[in-house]
Structure 1
């Protein structure tokens, strides 16, 4: 039987996102856990490095990065896709997916891995080294824990920022609870890519943390959406509804824009600065610099990753293709200021790496992205002031 193979890790939120997508699209696949043998015989030969998840197609092609996997499947697999057809839905989908992948998923990972001896580290060590004795597995577990915490720290996730992040998740959950009172899914009566991207970190919090259990226990509509995303039934009247309730969706989009767009703009400018400092090189490293702590609402420095710049570039493409009917949503969501921005250097995801494109004017003047994103940064600051082998996990 023709099927895909999805190589996953038990503690990877990106793996859960792809599992949800494949299930909702009803695409035949077989899931394989990334044991040490799979790492050596499958992932390293295909990618030349470790990354999770990995999709192997029926023709033995390798696709890495969840956004690239979904693009591949949306363009090739028959049936109704999960990317909305209208420009408003596509913009909302891109923004929510970027927020879920770049902000919410690392935050959910920190909630799990901030414990002194997280069960996630023990489970991952057992998956990688099933033949080891308990004491050796404990050593591996401690090493994995240290590596994941170090990587999360570079993303600005440390003990002092968790209270602020937890408060933001609470705010988001309240917005989602109101939205799911009038809509079964984020963008109407049927699930989208945005639903898969957002449900994965929430499921991770629910399964792995007391914080997530307590949060969802008092949010019945959010819990119902989680159940529906994992195969639960939806009432026929809801399944046939196609319109989006903008009154409850717009606050979610605005929240996502406030949390992600300022940093994403900085990542785009950091890519251009890196390219200028490394003439002739097209393969980008995993990090192209760091933000200034004094400009961050949480007063921490965060690394700039090419993946963040690429996700913003995808959102900008959706904005360029927007129909006039989408202009009101663009402005109300906080994305209006992006109409005045064009990256100095663009990039692509090719051969499992981020590579620079040859742009027409690489020497264009740098843009003050802090001034451009000032309205969103002020909104984030006001919200904060009112409140008192890591790649197997983080990709």
Structure 2
């Protein structure tokens, strides 16, 4: 067992669910600290410069925010039970599922939390952030006020009266059905060892949808295999199996991959284009090099999107480009037979053309802020 780490987060935080499951699976000894307002003020903000969780304090005292950066850093330090596949197809698919779970499944995760009757539990949990030792009626009152900020993100994600029913149809009749069929045959996403994609899925599924009363009841009744997978990743770590040695991708994942490219990737490509336009506009009004130091706005206008055949509008979120770069960098690093093998898979699931994207104006995280490279 490795040295001690500290995880700052909450039980009801989507991305904390991803980080917690990863640390458990890696058999990493860690303390978990509830992120109260006091912890935000005294630890998180001074050490990261932002108000986001989870945050992980490394054994050497360094603080990392953002689950992708956290996992990348720990994987480089803790080599037992690796979660990034070696095979080119398996590696790319794992990154695709991370992008899908982190940035697209947040849509149903937020919808079911704020548009269904979870209020008593959620208000109390949000109230505990401000007043962890106060009576429940005080936490409920304060939590109701704090919750307005988070429920206010729904329109940014494209969740409104026009799309609500479509989001539920898509999640319950497509995503959940396909995941349950997959986990009926496979222990984890890619085989008998968990990978990055599994932990990313734990965010929306474990942190929201299997945590909040209303969606939890729905999933318990419809997707027993998803529940089994979730419970195993929450339990003490078991012996690790293996991924298929021939870089095989389970056939049961192909419908999910097809859906990703159909629904999510048009929005991602529009976002990349919007960031390029923003860069060019800024460059025309600033001296050379100034663009590289100023944080990029969190959202850059609206774009169309479709879910379950229903059209809507949502914000283009600039952070998505950083996540897209991870996928494209993985793909563009391939050559020869490895690339041919991956391209065959991508043609099957409608992703080949998207993977040809070349990003001219790359972004990076600098002190947990998004800037141009």
Same fold (TM over 0.5): yes
Any stretches of 5+ residues in structure 2 without a counterpart? 284-289
Q: How far apart in 2 are the matches of 1:294 and 1:309?
A: 17
Task: List per-residue Cα deviations over 1:180-204 (Å, max 9, x = no partner).
Answer: 2332111111111101111332223
1:268: Cα distance to partner?
1.0
Q: What is the match of residue 271 of structure 1?
A: 275
Higher strand proportion, which one?
Answer: 2
Task: Return the match for 1:247 from 251, 256, 261.
Answer: 251
Q: TM-score, normalised by structure 1?
A: 0.83
Against the structure 1 CA distance between its residues 241 and 305, is the aligned structure 2 distance closer, same or farther, given a 3 Å change threshold? closer
1:131: Cα distance to partner?
5.2
Q: How far apart in 1 are the matches of 2:302 and 2:114?
A: 23
Matched residue of 2:64: which SS? strand
CA contact (8 A) 2:126 2:147 kept: no
Q: What is the match of residue 260 of structure 1?
A: 264
CA contact (8 A) 1:20 1:230 kept: yes
Q: What is the match of residue 286 of structure 2?
A: none
Q: What is the match of residue 174 of structure 1?
A: 177
Task: Return the match for 1:281 from 275, 281, 291.
Answer: 291
Against the structure 1 CA distance between its residues 57 and 151, is the aligned structure 2 distance closer, same or farther, given a 3 Å change threshold? same
Q: What is the match of residue 325 of structure 1?
A: 341
Matched residue of 1:30: which SS? strand
1:69: Cα distance to partner?
0.6
Q: What is the match of residue 290 of structure 1?
A: 301
RMSD: 2.4
Q: How far apart in 2 are the matches of 1:295 and 1:213?
A: 27
Matched residue of 2:185: which SS? coil
Q: What is the match of residue 202 of structure 1?
A: 205
Q: What is the match of residue 345 of structure 1?
A: 361
Q: What is the match of residue 192 of structure 1?
A: 195
Against the structure 1 CA distance between its residues 30 and 331, is the aligned structure 2 distance closer, same or farther, given a 3 Å change threshold? same
User: For 1:126-141, what aligned pairs fall within 5 Å after superposition?
Assistant: 126-130=128-132, 137-141=139-143
Q: How far apart in 2 are the matches of 1:89 and 1:103?
A: 20
Q: What is the match of residue 70 of structure 1?
A: 71
CA contact (8 A) 2:191 2:242 kept: no
CA contact (8 A) 2:193 2:241 kept: yes
Aligned residues: 355
1:228: Cα distance to partner?
2.1
CA contact (8 A) 1:113 1:120 kept: no
1:249: Cα distance to partner?
1.7
Q: How far apart in 1 are the matches of 2:28 and 2:278?
A: 39
Q: TM-score, normalised by structure 2?
A: 0.87
Against the structure 1 CA distance between its residues 9 and 158, is the aligned structure 2 distance closer, same or farther, given a 3 Å change threshold? farther
CA contact (8 A) 2:263 2:305 kept: no
1:43: Cα distance to partner?
1.1
Q: What is the match of residue 303 of structure 1?
A: 315
Q: How far apart in 1 are the matches of 2:129 and 2:369?
A: 27
Any stretches of 5+ residues in structure 1 without a counterpart? 358-395
Q: How far apart in 1 are the matches of 2:270 and 2:147?
A: 29
CA contact (8 A) 1:125 1:141 kept: yes
User: For 1:38-49, what aligned pairs fall within 5 Å after superposition?
Assistant: 38-49=39-50
Of the structure 1 ranges 11-20 and 346-355, higher mean CA displacement relative to structure 2 is found in 346-355
Q: How far apart in 2 are the matches of 1:299 and 1:245?
A: 31
Task: List per-residue Cα deviations over 1:85-141 (Å, max 9, x = no partner).
Answer: 111011101111111011113421221122463521321112322355666544422
Task: List per-residue Cα deviations over 1:185-224 (Å, max 9, x = no partner).
Answer: 1111111110111133222312313233223323332222
